[in-house]
Amino acid sequence: MLGQLAAHARWSPLTRILVVGADAAGMSAAHTALRAADAAGRDVEITVLEATGHTSYSACGIPYWIAGDVPSGDDLVARTAAEHRSAGIDLRLGARAVAVDTERRRVRFEQDGTAGEAEYDELVLATGAAPIIPDWARAADGGLVDGVHPVKSLDDGELWTGLLERAGEVGGPSRAVVVGGGYIGVEMAEALIRRGLSATLVTRGRVMSSLDEDLGAEIEDALVAAGVDLRTGRTIDGLETTGGPGDRVSGVVTDTGERLGADVVVLAIGVEPATRLGGEAGLPLGEAGGYLPDPAGRIAPGIWAAGDCCEVEHRLTGRRAFLPLGTHANKLGRVVGDNLLGGDRRFGGALGTAITRFVAGGVHLEIARTGLSSDQAAEAGYDVAALVTTGTTISGYMPEAEVIHTKVLGDRATRRLLGVQIVGGPGSAKRVDAAAAALWGGLTVDDLAGMDLAYAPPFATVWDALQIAARRLADRL
Amino acid sequence: MLGQLAAHARWSPLTRILVVGADAAGMSAAHTALRAADAAGRDVEITVLEATGHTSYSACGIPYWIAGDVPSGDDLVARTAAEHRSAGIDLRLGARAVAVDTERRRVRFEQDGTAGEAEYDELVLATGAAPIIPDWARAADGGLVDGVHPVKSLDDGELWTGLLERAGEVGGPSRAVVVGGGYIGVEMAEALIRRGLSATLVTRGRVMSSLDEDLGAEIEDALVAAGVDLRTGRTIDGLETTGGPGDRVSGVVTDTGERLGADVVVLAIGVEPATRLGGEAGLPLGEAGGYLPDPAGRIAPGIWAAGDCCEVEHRLTGRRAFLPLGTHANKLGRVVGDNLLGGDRRFGGALGTAITRFVAGGVHLEIARTGLSSDQAAEAGYDVAALVTTGTTISGYMPEAEVIHTKVLGDRATRRLLGVQIVGGPGSAKRVDAAAAALWGGLTVDDLAGMDLAYAPPFATVWDALQIAARRLADRL
């Protein structure tokens, strides 16, 4: 009996893993599975289908490439196709998956105009998210009007660096309109101003609406101080174009009828999960249209999903949230990679942590948030108390001290920490991580106020700004 | 009966609070008690005896005053004597407490050469710590040899700015020896090099021995690269002086007989709790000679203690630790202030979090630690596993990316996080706070690796350096 078990344990059939999408989530899963197979002495064959010609790049880095911080799009590639292949992954670029047959475990795809079919034992859907393209941005032929473009892929980055090549020269682009006031919108406003353009930012709601209104107002003030022409609460009705041959954008018209001249228009309205493939195969989708992986990353027998095509579980609410970020893509990708061959890893959930900055026009503002906003907390049923505290990033007598605004949110019933938002000068934002760790552990506002955070005059005040804010809220809970 | 109880509750006698020591801990306790009394409608009389002429100043800021970052010692004063007094505190400067009569609840003190006595209902001992002065630093009259001095009080700072006034001029001081390789030693090496002196650092053990040896070696390399002449594993046998009138230091002699020329010598050997007052009154002291407040801050009926004169409870070991830092002084001071009138606040313990930097001679190094070192963890009975991971502070393609070394320590038996140490370039050290928060919550190495920390290219890598390090250790636990 023992001999039989041992023989069974040694029996290792070939497992065919098929990954659709070769960016962070897909390639994390692929490499992790490769390592897990290696460690377990298992035989795997890993094939990756990627519709575009690019793999494993930092989409978050594109605004900094456009701004001029990063010399080339190649610098944003974490691992090249050649590196993936030399690790033993059968990576097929330009191969667009078009249908999944979940019964027969096959994926149909198109490559170089011909149709192919790939069999799998385990399928990983990592198709990411696609930028939302409003109808007004399209030309008669269905393509984008020249000069109007999103900022998502390396191809987008290439296009933008081309569009801005002559920025600052006579006849070059000088006026930009950014549509969308979220992370990408703010980062692109920075990039465009740093490239010498004027920037008008139009947003349907507030700027950075993932933060509460009071801190959002600080961000809006900073943008205005840096010269951004702000139009909040506005939508775009349509474009104006130059007409004639070489027709391209010359302006946008808002819902109030205002005409804003524009040589380039950034589409930063958001992204949506690219889940047509699984949706058509009958796989369940969430409210935002994303796949719904369980904590192991599984969405159906033999089918897994990771990355921006998913709605992940929010650790504080237990509900699904569409949070298309590289952090979750990498973490969930790794979870899937480990579990494909029978591992037992779990994705711990998301806290909604996010960070960015706006550094342009003499302004240096850092922005971060974690956990629930006031609205989210109320909606989740918490009796939320919140307070903004203004202090300094480091000891006030140090020459580098900067203003920092910290908002702490807690639950009156349990004193539990619910969220933290930070807006301030250099050195402000990354301290949100201490709050994220506290949220991860389910700690209270009192814990955050009392914990042993690091202090020395060049790094913090003796009560860290985060703790002063937590202490003040704790006194009022 | 109910009427009697109510009458009793309304009966509010005057509570006489006597605080000895007017720095962070004492004045935190005093102001917190004042606010608590105010809120509760209680009648208090708060008297503070302070032996020196200074109150509520940042001792941690003195090296930056000496370095030239801070224009004046006044800038280091958080609250002046006048501000304390106008808040209603009877602050007596130059009043040295000499004896406590715990039976009769009285403290004898000396002020302006005359003896006084203060009665109390509640006594707060906040006498701080005193720099260790080795015998070799003393002149025949028992005072310090000219040019040899510690860095602890505002008077010390004043003396140092005087000593260095002519630094860089002909005949001015040009050679410094720093004795001690801890936080103050490293900070003073920075200050002296920035003031144009050469610096030799002599330390009995390693530099920054609160970090493990591997990361300590990174720090030593950086000091040497910045031009610090390092002598580790050496003690001082004696001084050489100029002799004659105006006798002052001209060098030190180490235990190997090496003579090191010195115009100034920094005493940064450490501090010891100033607990003679309580010790003579029979109050219990710990192994390091500090008071042993319970979590409420009490050391005996009617007697409380806070600040650098205390050994605080280490949250991870449950044992006492002498950690003379402003963070604990402020937090425990506040706990005491709330409890003096019957509050129920608790000090949550220390994690041993600490941070500093060395920025001089073309080097910019940040240093931080939290939790237990490898030796401390082994001594506390943990089966410790630890790993150093080298990465970058932010996305490698960003121009500001810097090298960061992160050491994560975990317990093999429980996978619990035990400590984190960080040495690296700008932006490295303060991320120790996320680890401190994780330690505070008793989280695992897996939690640290999996939690939702903030990422954007100018702030972190997509897996934060801390998480790459935690993940690598988790894989080996």
| DSSP reduced 3-state for A416 | strand
Do the beta carbons of residue B339 and residue B414 sit within 8 Å? no
- CA nearest to A358, candidates A350, A349, A367: A367
Distance of alpha carbon A123 from alpha carbon A111, whole angstroms:
19
Do the beta carbons of residue B271 and residue B242 sit within 8 Å? no
**DSSP-derived secondary structure letter, A239:** E
Which residues touch B182 (CB under 8 Å, ≥6 apart)? B203, B208, B209, B210, B268, B270
Q: Which ranges in chain A are annotated with CATH 3.50.50.60? A: 11-56+69-130+272-339, 133-269
pLDDT tens digits for A332-390? Answer: 999 999 999 999 999 999 999 999 999 999 999 999 999 999 999 999 999 999 999 99
Run of H or E residues at A356: strand A354-360
Residue among A69, A327, A437 whose CB faces B437 most closely: A437
For residue B323, give both structure tokens: 């950690």
pLDDT tens digits for A425-463? Answer: 999 999 999 999 999 999 999 999 999 999 999 999 999
Do the beta carbons of residue A451 and residue B436 sit within 8 Å? yes
The fold of the A11-56+69-130+272-339 domain, in CATH, is: FAD/NAD(P)-binding domain (3.50.50)
Which residues touch A124 (CB under 8 Å, ≥6 apart)? A17, A18, A19, A20, A26, A29, A30, A303, A304, A305, A306, A336, A340
Distance of alpha carbon B317 from alpha carbon B418, whole angstroms:
10
Distance of alpha carbon B466 from alpha carbon B435, whole angstroms:
8
Task: Output the CATH code of domain A133-269.
Answer: 3.50.50.60
The fold of the B12-130+272-339 domain, in CATH, is: FAD/NAD(P)-binding domain (3.50.50)
Catalytic residue among B16, B35, B52, B60: B60
Which residues touch A428 (CB under 8 Å, ≥6 apart)? A366, A368, A393, A402, A404, A422, A465
Residue in chain B lying closest to A442 (CA): B441
Give chain A's largest Cα–Cα span: 84
Residue among A75, A355, A457 whose CB faces B456 most closely: A355
Do the beta carbons of residue B331 and residue B338 sit within 8 Å? no
Q: Which ranges in chain A are annotated with CATH 3.30.390.30? A: 362-476
- CA nearest to B164, candidates B144, B149, B142: B149
Digitized pLDDT (tens) for each residue of chain A, 477 residues in all: 343 444 444 456 899 999 999 999 999 999 999 999 999 999 999 999 999 999 999 999 999 999 999 999 999 999 999 999 999 999 999 999 999 999 999 999 999 999 999 999 999 999 999 999 999 999 999 999 999 999 999 999 999 999 999 998 888 999 999 999 999 999 999 999 999 999 999 999 999 999 999 999 999 999 999 999 999 999 999 999 999 888 999 999 999 999 999 999 999 999 999 999 999 999 999 999 999 999 999 999 999 999 999 999 999 999 999 999 999 999 999 999 999 999 999 999 999 999 999 999 999 999 999 999 999 999 999 999 999 999 999 999 999 999 999 999 999 999 999 999 999 999 999 999 999 999 999 999 999 999 999 999 999 999 999 999 999 999 999
Distance of alpha carbon A348 from alpha carbon A353, whole angstroms:
14
The fold of the A362-476 domain, in CATH, is: Enolase-like; domain 1 (3.30.390)
3-state helix, strand, coil in chain A (%, to 5): 30, 30, 40
* Interior/surface letters A83-103, b for 16+ CB within 10 angstroms, e for the rest: bbeeeebbbbbebebbebebe
Check: complex ipTM more than 0.90: yes
Q: What is the pLDDT of residue B211?
A: 98
| DSSP reduced 3-state for A275 | coil
Tell me the shortest Cα–Cα distance from A432 to chain B, in angstroms.
7
Size of interface A-B (CB pairs under 8 A): 217
Residue in chain A lying closest to B400 (CA): A69
Residue among B348, B447, B460 whose CB faces A430 most closely: B460
Distance of alpha carbon B230 from alpha carbon B210, whole angstroms:
18
Yes or no, beta carbons of B452 and A436 under 8 Å apart = yes
Distance of alpha carbon A293 from alpha carbon A273, whole angstroms:
13
Residue among A353, A455, A460 whose CB faces B452 most closely: A353
**Residues facing B281 on adjacent strands:** none
Instruction: Please spell the DSSP secondary structure of A244-260, one letter per residue.
Output: STT--EEEEEETT--EE
H helices present in B87-212, as ranges? 154-163, 183-194
Yes or no, beta carbons of B456 and A347 under 8 Å apart = no
Q: What is the pLDDT of residue A2?
A: 40
**Chain A interface disruption, residue of B432, B443, B451, most A CBs within 10 A:** B451
Distance of alpha carbon B28 from alpha carbon B35, whole angstroms:
11
Residue in chain A lying closest to B62 (CA): A457
Yes or no, beta carbons of A452 and B350 under 8 Å apart = yes
For residue A267, give both structure tokens: 């589409």
Distance of alpha carbon A239 from alpha carbon A310, whole angstroms:
33
Give CA angle at A276 (A271, A278), nearest 5°: 120
Active site residue A309: no
Which residues touch B331 (CB under 8 Å, ≥6 apart)? A450, A463, B347
Taking CB atoms and an 8 Å cutoff, what residues of chain B touch A455? 60, 325-327, 355
Taking CB atoms and an 8 Å cutoff, what residues of chain A touch B460? 355, 430
Do the beta carbons of residue B330 and residue B308 sit within 8 Å? no
Instruction: Please spell the DSSP secondary structure of B384-404, one letter per residue.
Output: EEEEEEEEESS-TTSTT--EE
**Residues facing B241 on adjacent strands:** B249
Catalytic residue among A16, A42, A52, A60: A60
Run of H or E residues at B328: helix B326-339
Do the beta carbons of residue A270 and residue A133 sit within 8 Å? no
Tell me the shortest Cα–Cα distance from B98 to chain A, in angstroms.
30
| DSSP reduced 3-state for A426 | coil
- CA nearest to A476, candidates B39, B31, B341: B39
Q: Which ranges in chain B are annotated with CATH 3.50.50.60? A: 12-130+272-339, 133-269
Digitized pLDDT (tens) for each residue of chain B, 477 residues in all: 343 444 444 456 899 999 999 999 999 999 999 999 999 999 999 999 999 999 999 999 999 999 999 999 999 999 999 999 999 999 999 999 999 999 999 999 999 999 999 999 999 999 999 999 999 999 999 999 999 999 999 999 999 999 999 998 888 999 999 999 999 999 999 999 999 999 999 999 999 999 999 999 999 999 999 999 999 999 999 999 999 888 999 999 999 999 999 999 999 999 999 999 999 999 999 999 999 999 999 999 999 999 999 999 999 999 999 999 999 999 999 999 999 999 999 999 999 999 999 999 999 999 999 999 999 999 999 999 999 999 999 999 999 999 999 999 999 999 999 999 999 999 999 999 999 999 999 999 999 999 999 999 999 999 999 999 999 999 999
- B241, with CB counted inside 10 A (0-12, 13-18, 19+), is middle
Q: What is the pLDDT of residue B168?
A: 84
Which residues touch B250 (CB under 8 Å, ≥6 apart)? B240, B241, B242, B261, B262, B263
Q: What Cα–Cα distance (Å) separates residue A84 from each residue in A34, A79, A81, A127, A200?
A: 11, 7, 5, 18, 41
